[in-house]
Amino acid sequence: MKIDYSRRRFLSLTAAGVAAATAPLALAADSAEIQWHDVRDWGVEGRGFDDTEKYFDRLPARAKGVVRDAVWNLSRHSAGMLVRFRTDAREIQVDYSVTSSSLAMPHMPATGVSGLDLYAKDEQGNWKWVAVCKPTAQHMKTTLVQGLRPGARDYSIYLPLYNGTESLKIGVDGSSLFEPIAPRSEKPIVFYGTSITHGACASRPGMPHPSILGRRLDRPVINLGFSGNGKLEKEVGQFLVELDPAVYVLDCLPNMVAAEITERTEPMVKQLRAAHPNVPIVLVEDRSYSGSWLLQSQETRNETSRAAFQAAYRRLLDAGTERLFYVDGESLLADNRDDTTDGSHPSDLGFFNQANAIEPALRSALGA
């Protein structure tokens, strides 16, 4: 048999290139001169509560035993959090640990579950993606990016979506400028939702629609998505009302059936409104299952959930509830049903489409 040596060499070089692209960058040889900055020294944006059991938790320690155990356990994930800083460093290193050794899921890569996602602000003031950490261990000390163009600029690092963050330090050369940027004081957009709000199945922590919308609207975001457990529960509501948001986004339908929606939608809106009479509330229907055009059970689930939600929305309006905004579920994903990972959870394209669908309602709610 004749061996195609040119093809063998091509495959060998390709495999080597893939390995190099996916391996963590080595630390610089002079890493002893790196100065490390603990992000807790100046604060992480996206934390709604200061009295947490661990710094990077999303609910206060007081929530333990009040919310269901599943909600509490998921609240230990650092979804939606980010840290900002300014530097002229040509290389940025990170030293961070996550709370679980389960770095990835079958339908979501380690970069999204447990990675760090770096953005920078360009000269026009737009946030643009730069690099992502590809975690291979529970503790990572690695170069996040190197060879940056000269000049000082603002950076953001988004924290892991489906893992807890134990610690995070940012390292730059000791001769470089490094200025921490404190969390913004503007009122945040507060999302309460499901695994989709939580971030499944984004490839990177900056890609879920809450984070995309935070960049587009230039607003802080608090992500209270709880995978499989966003159910408009009053026990979660009692912590939602402690926040001081610009707007609430309620996006729980994918975790609820029609009877639960009928029972809980109006009480949740009234609970929020009793504490915040003037804060707008955006109600988001469930996305269409990608297979619902062929699977009757999925179509029925969408139809019954939406009918119950729409009925609750009309009753609220009839009762005089103001500053309510509504997002149609059919608009959340693409017509060709080709923007999910598993027929339910968005891919990065799906999150981009969801952000497009929700953005007009948010802008109206915010008066933007």
Query: CA 58: distance to chain centroid?
Result: 12
Residue 290 has pLDDT above 60, yes or no: yes
Asked if 250 and 197 touch (Cβ cutoff 8 Å), the reply is: no
Q: b/e string for 84-102 if b means 16 or more Cβ within 10 A? A: bbebbbbbbbbbbbbbeee
Instruction: Give the tens place of pLDDT for each residue, 80-93.
Output: 999 999 999 999 99
Residue 12 confidence (pLDDT) above 50? no
Which pLDDT does position 5 carry in this prediction?
35
Q: Which residues pair with 36 in a beta bridge?
A: 171
Contacts of residue 260, defined as CB under 8 A and 6 or more positions apart, other chains included, come to 231, 232
| Tokens linked to 200 | 């499944």
> CB burial class (10 A; 0-12, 13-18, 19+) of residue 238?
middle
pLDDT digits 0-9 by tens, 350-359: 999 999 999 9
Cα separations in angstroms, 67 against 34, 36, 107, 233, 266 = 42, 37, 27, 8, 19
Please give the average per-residue pLDDT across 105-128, as a whole number.
Answer: 98
pLDDT at 7 over 70: no
* pLDDT at 26 (0 to 100): 52
Q: Pseudo-torsion of CA 100, 101, 107, 113, nearest 10°?
A: 50
The pLDDT of residue 94: 98
Please report the domains of the chain, with CATH numbers, ordered by start residue: 32-46+81-181 (2.60.120.260), 189-366 (3.40.50.1110)
Confidence of residue 25 (pLDDT cuts 50, 70, 90): low
Average pLDDT, the chain: 93
Question: pLDDT band at residue 6, thresholds of 50, 70 and 90?
Answer: very low
For the cut 80, the answer to whether the pLDDT of residue 174 exceeds it is: yes
Judge contact between 114 and 181, C-beta under 8 A.
no
Model pLDDT, residue 337: 87
Query: What is the pairing mode between strands 247-251 and 189-193?
Result: parallel
